[in-house]
Amino acid sequence: MQDKTSIHGAWTSRWIFILAATGSAVGLGNIWKFPYITGENGGGAFVLVYLCCILLVGVPIMMAEVLVGRRGRQSPINAMKDVALEAGRSRYWSLVGWIGVLAGFMIFSFYSVVAGWVLYYIAGMGVGDFIAIGSDDANGVFNDLLANPQTLIIWHSIFVMMVMLVIVGGVKKGLENAVKFLMPALFVLLLVMLAYSSQTEGFAAGWDFLFHYDPSELTAESVLVALGHSFFTLSLGMGAIMAYGSYMPKKTSIGSAVIWIAIMDTLVALIAGLVIFPIVFTNGMDPGKGPGLMFVTLPVAFGQMPGGQIFGFVFFLLVGVAAWTSAISLMEPATAWLVEKFNWHRVPACIVLGLIVWGLGVAALGSFNFISDVKLAGFSIFDFLDFVTANIMLPLGGLCIAIFVGWIITRKMAANELAISSPLLFNAWYIALRFIAPVGVLVIFIFSLVEKFK
């Protein structure tokens, strides 16, 4: 069992794995969601809690996910099952993989809608729609877009097809080729944007907003949001990283690869904050604007600055690329499972899955217009999908994976797969995985439940 490879293929090198996993991690979560939830939750204190969650919960669980993937060499559903069986445990641990696939569908459906907005803005910036736009007009453009299901469906469909195009190509020809070009492009675009924002008057205010610590801003709910976001942003708790781990070369160190991925994801989120908030403050706008932050405030800013059309175009292109490489990883686990289970080629697997997520996405975008009155637990469909996946399903999935690797399989299996030479580092990881991560998740869950029903 030890040395088998996945039937789906393998990454060419350690760096390709790191790039692909970073491609999964770095996405709308970093550039769209992180700045707006930071804005809504008061800035610095939230950022600090988020960083702690990444380090103490996210990193150890990511290592566990990669470990299971590489040991099982299959889609998350089958990898969980086989690794459990190898350890003499119940085959029903595959259920964790199933919940992951469900979460993947749910995330994809709203992710693709937002990515569709991004495509619309790339086009709009490209043709100069936002030149000298005022904030009322920018609001109008965004609200008109949300109110128009046809336009939303077109862009959502295009995005789903872009993702299918890569998935069909498989691990080497599809995923690997995509990330090899897109990720370096993404880093360059991001640095261009940072160079620009660092010249704005609002840079100091933006910096201060992100890093100024005021604990009175924190509530149990914002701690839950920080925890949930640390799973979402690292693509944890649903098997995406497990699937990517199953294509990882055997000799590569899991620990150092994971550290790299977490560092890059965190850097991109912080840099995205340092791009967006200075522009927001320079133009005297409100950082707590919510999901529209990127789509309303930024076009206004871009519309007024010299060369803003080009920077705006570059910015949205960057976001689009990031969303694309993440969405691929949302679809890969289910694709791999269909191929394994029914011996299908990737083409039919991809078409079936594409149709499912397309349909769910139409429901998600409908929550801004034709089904705006449908509420689930008080949320619109779109908000429900976002809240339930990030704040409940991913932390729960991560909790199960932590328990599985920390308590269910043997220490020896975990140690063999990780192959960390320093006993100190191994023990630090093991303690974080067995105690800190599960207790952290549970405590935060309980506190936010208590607060909700108080």
Q: Which of 230, 309, 326, 380 binds ligand PFF (CB under 6 A)?
A: 326
Does residue 380 belong to the site contacting ligand PFF (CB under 6 A)? no
Contact status: 320 vs ligand PFF (CB under 6 A): no
Residue closer to Na ion, measured from CB, 265 or 340: 265
Using the rule CB under 6 A, is 109 a contact of ligand PFF? no
* Nearer of residues 202 and 273 to ligand PFF, judged by Cβ: 273
Taking the complex as a whole, the smallest distance from the CB of residue 201 to ligand PFF amounts, in Å, to 29
Q: Does 233 bind Na ion (CB under 5 A)?
A: yes
Check binding of 330 to ligand PFF (CB under 6 A): yes
CA distances from 368 to 29, 104, 111, 372 (A): 20, 22, 14, 5
Using the rule CB under 6 A, give the single segment among 120-128, 229-237, 340-348, 429-437 that binds ligand PFF.
229-237
Closer to ligand PFF by Cβ: residue 260 or 447: 260
Q: Which of 230, 282, 329, 391 binds ligand PFF (CB under 6 A)?
A: 329
From 183-191, 271-279, 326-334, 399-407, give the range in contact with ligand PFF by CB under 6 A.
326-334
Site string for ligand PFF, 199-228 (x = CB under 6 A): ------------------------------
Which is closer to ligand PFF, CB of 231 or CB of 281? 231
Q: Least distance to ligand PFF from the beta carbon of 396, Å?
A: 14
Instruction: Choose among Na ion, ligand PFF, none what residue 28 binds, the Cβ cut-off being 5 to 8 Å by kind.
Output: ligand PFF
The answer to whether the CB of 226 falls within 8 A of the CB of 49 is yes
291 binds, among Na ion, ligand PFF, none (CB under 5 to 8 A by kind): none
Would strands 375-376 and 379-380 be described as parallel, antiparallel, or unpaired? antiparallel
Binders of ligand PFF among 386-445, rule CB under 6 A?
A: none
188 contacts: CB under 8 Å, gap ≥ 6: none
> Measuring CA to CA, which residue among 440, 420, 404 is closest to residue 72?
404
Query: Tokens standing for 53?
Result: 């969650």
Residue given tokens 């991004």 in the structure block: 118
| Amino acid in the structure at residue 244 | Y
107 binds ligand PFF (CB under 6 A): yes
CA atoms of 38 and 282, how far apart (whole Å): 18
Give the max Cα distance, the chain. 65
- Distances in Å between the Cα of 400 and the Cα atoms of 393, 395, 433 are 11, 9, 11
Q: Helix axis angle, 94-126 relative to 381-388, nearest 10°? A: 130
Instruction: Lay out the site mask for Na ion across 369-398 (x = CB under 5 A, - = otherwise).
Output: ------------------------------
The answer to whether the CB of 118 falls within 8 A of the CB of 316 is yes
* Cα distances (angstroms) measured from residue 14 to each of 11, 20, 258, 416: 7, 10, 11, 18
Pick between residue 64 and residue 285 the one whose CB is nearest to ligand PFF: 64
Residues from 25 through 84 that contact ligand PFF (CB under 6 A): 25, 27-30
CA-closest candidate to residue 57, choices 326, 397, 327, 330: 397
Contact residues for 288 (Cβ-Cβ < 8 A; gap 6+): 39, 40
Q: Choose among 60, 68, 6: nearest CA to 417.
A: 68
To the nearest whole angstrom, how small is the minimum distance from the Cβ of residue 172 to Na ion? 24
- Check binding of 238 to ligand PFF (CB under 6 A): yes
Query: 3-class DSSP state for residue 424?
Result: helix
Q: Which does 266 bind (CB under 5 to 8 A by kind): ligand PFF, Na ion, none?
A: none
> Which residues sit at the interface with Na ion, rule CB under 5 A?
25, 29-30, 233, 265
> Which residues sit at the interface with ligand PFF, rule CB under 6 A?
24-25, 27-30, 104, 107, 232-233, 235, 238, 240, 326, 329-330
